[in-house]
Structure 1
Amino acid sequence: MADRATPLRAELISVVSHELRTPLTSIASLIEMIEDGRLAGPDRDGAMASIRRNTERLLTLVEDLNLLANLESAGPVAGGAADLPGLVHRAARRHPMVRVEVPAGPPVPGDPALLARLMCLVIGAVSGVAADGAVTVTGAVEASGWTVTARGYAAGLGGSERLLTPGPPSRSDLPYRRSVALSVLLARAIATSHGGTLTFQQEADGQAAVTVRLPYLS
């Protein structure tokens, strides 16, 4: 457990430092301009709205960190079962360019809410690096368990590298969207807590792929 936790914490520190930098820098800068009297009227109102959004962004990040800490300390998730194909289809509805090719199969043991979040994170991560947002999600039931893979053609930097690298800071006036790197980190923690694995790779045809393997109830 300790051997696995050490690299996870190192990666977590790297990702979180990127996630924190943008909202904190924006908040500090806007507060300084308000205190100096450089912003007034509508400009001041806009700055206050941006501060509020960035505060909400930080609160969401705290929730994500709490989830990671709980998953690491609690160990394997026990009890419950989930229809994995159903979860994949529901997660895909949020992304109009996602095609799902996952057959019916046995249920997956664990927490249905966490498993639903896992599928949302995986599909969202690949959509985030796909050049046109187009993603194909395939699934298969094998002797060792379920295998679900999300694939998309990544633009620019290699897909596997983009999945590992926090992206450029987003504009502070836009709604918060997790970095792809944080999404992958959360997804892997959920998969691991359910006795599964998560891997990502750059395939020979240029597609970035995230593969989740999970046990099933026989």
Structure 2
Amino acid sequence: MRAPLPEDEPARLAALHDAQVLDTAPEEDFDDIALLASEICGTPAGLVSLVDTDRQWFKAKIGLTIEQTHRDLSFCAHAIHGHELFEIPDATHDQRFSDNPMVLGDGGIRFYAGAPVVLDGTHSVGTVCVVDHVPRELTPAQRRALRSLARHASVQLELRRYARHAGAIADRLRQLDRMKDSFLATVSHELRTPLSSIRGYLEMLLEDEFDGETSRRFLSVMQRNSDRLLRLIDDLLLVARLTDEGLELDLAEVDLAEIAHHVTSGCRPLAEHKEVKLTDRTESPVPARGDAKRLSHALNHLVVNAIKFTAEGGEISVDARADDEPELIITDTGVGIPPHDLPHVFDRFYRSAAADQMAAQGPGLGLAIVRSIIDAHHGTIRVHSEPGLGTTVRVKLPR
């Protein structure tokens, strides 16, 4: 008789698979448990058995040569329905097992006793069990010992799981520590560079007398560097707010075409300075519902990013459409993004190798901010890129 599935079957399997012990090599700790079970109970076979989706796999086995059996034939599949010892004195007299192929014939299983191996204090994932070819019953002391060995097997599984999780946490902490160091170095550079420039021009203005035109040029450079500092500080503050509170939107009816016109006009001087052609292809209104200020902020980051990574003589186009859904499309003929970088372009503080090679400004926050803004609008953002050919970014907002 096939054992019914336990009520906690999905969670039970999840706990078993999370232990990552299935199909692993033999281990002395588990072999000792199987050996002790066999010797204490006086049976020819002792096992540490784990019940998977459709099989019973033996982590340790004494007196048995096979690695696994089908779950339909498993005594342990019945034992995992509770936390109590499951004992069958004579399988030939039990209707659940009397016609089991592992019972029929000479040398078949007659006696079985299994104590559940429980994870998380809840889920029975297998048993420590003993098997004999003759009918019998365990003594109270043997039953206590078998339950104790099952608890020991549970602890061994839990320790391995905790050790693996601790290792993963340690790896993540090391990664975060490296990210922190990289972030501090990048932000320090991003702050120091414009401040050093401003300070240098101030010193020259204070120490020497320059004509009005030269002074205005100096002040213009200082103003650009001040704006750069303010943008960096604004981005850092925005990221902090996103982390702590989420992003609040001031929703209203907006025209994506108008936002595209405004952003491309504001970015055109930067594009002309790099001798990159920036084209606004939007013609008709594209109505949408959103926060105009936030959407402008996101589009500005995308266009500035395209300008950064497009070489002299390249082209960038911005288009807004109202097909199935309101959509913004930014296309450039820049350096492109390698496939291994694409999954990380929206990560905070992530800078690609191309950014470092081209000495592109920024601590790696722009695209993370864009993603947060679009997510807050319940929209989607997709990036398609070919190294050496360029990149296309598509932003879609709900109707």
Same fold per superposition (TM over 0.5): yes
The change in CA–CA distance for 1:17 and 1:40 in structure 2 (over 3 A counts) is closer
- 2:3 corresponds in structure 1 to none
Q: Counterpart in 2 of 1:184?
A: 367
| Structure 1 pair 197–17 and aligned structure 2 pair: CA distance change class (3 A) | farther
Q: How does 1:172-211 map to 2 (within 5 A)?
A: 179=362, 181-203=364-386, 206-211=389-394
Q: Which runs of 5+ in 2 are unaligned?
A: 1-174, 346-350
Question: Where is the helix percentage greater, Structure 1 or Structure 2?
Answer: 1
- SS of the aligned residue for 1:126 comes to helix
Alignment match, 1:140: 321
Two-structure CA RMSD over aligned residues (Å): 4.2
Q: Aligned partners of 1:193 and 1:159: how far apart in 2?
A: 27
Structure 1 residue aligned with 2:395, among 200, 212, 216?
212
> Equivalences for 1:1-218 in 2 at 5 Å?
13=183, 16=187, 18-23=189-194, 40-41=207-208, 54=225, 57-72=228-243, 73-75=245-247, 77-94=249-266, 95=268, 97-102=277-282, 104=284, 107-131=287-311, 132-143=313-324, 145-154=325-334, 158-160=335-337, 164=351, 165=355, 167-168=358-359, 179=362, 181-203=364-386, 206-216=389-399
Please, what TM-score do these two structures have when normalized by structure 2? 0.38
Q: Identity across aligned pairs (percent)?
A: 24
Kindly provide the amino acid, as one letter, of the partner of residue 303 in structure 2.
I
Deviation at 1:168, TM superposition (A): 1.8
Shift of 1:147: 2.7
Tell me the CA shift for residue 88 of structure 1. Answer: 0.8
Who wins on radius of gyration, i.e. which is larger? 2
Q: 5+ unaligned residues in a row in structure 1: which ranges? A: 1-5, 170-177
Distance 1:27 1:66, change over 3 A: same
Distance 1:51 1:93, change over 3 A: closer
How far residue 128 of structure 1 moved from its aligned partner, in angstroms, is: 2.3
- Structure 1 counterpart of 2:62: none
Is the CA contact (8 Å cut-off) linking 1:126 and 1:152 kept in structure 2?
yes
Q: Quick check: 1:199–1:212 contact (8 Å CA) kept in 2?
A: yes
Determine helix, strand or coil for the equivalent of 1:93: helix
2: distance between equivalents of 1:18 and 1:197?
Answer: 32
1:159 aligned counterpart, secondary structure: coil
The residue type paired with residue 337 of structure 2 is S
Distance in 1 separating the partners of 2:223 and 2:318: 36
- Alpha carbons 2:298, 2:370 under 8 Å: kept: yes
Counterpart for residue 25 of structure 2 = none
Considering Cα pairs closer than 8 Å and 6+ residues apart, tell me whether 1 or 2 has the greater RCO: 1
Q: Distance in 2 between the 1:93 and 1:56 partners?
A: 17
Q: Structure 1, residues 163-215: CA drift from partner, whole Å, max 9, x if none?
A: 8435527xxxxxxxx64944433333322222223343423771122322222
Matched with 1:174 is: none
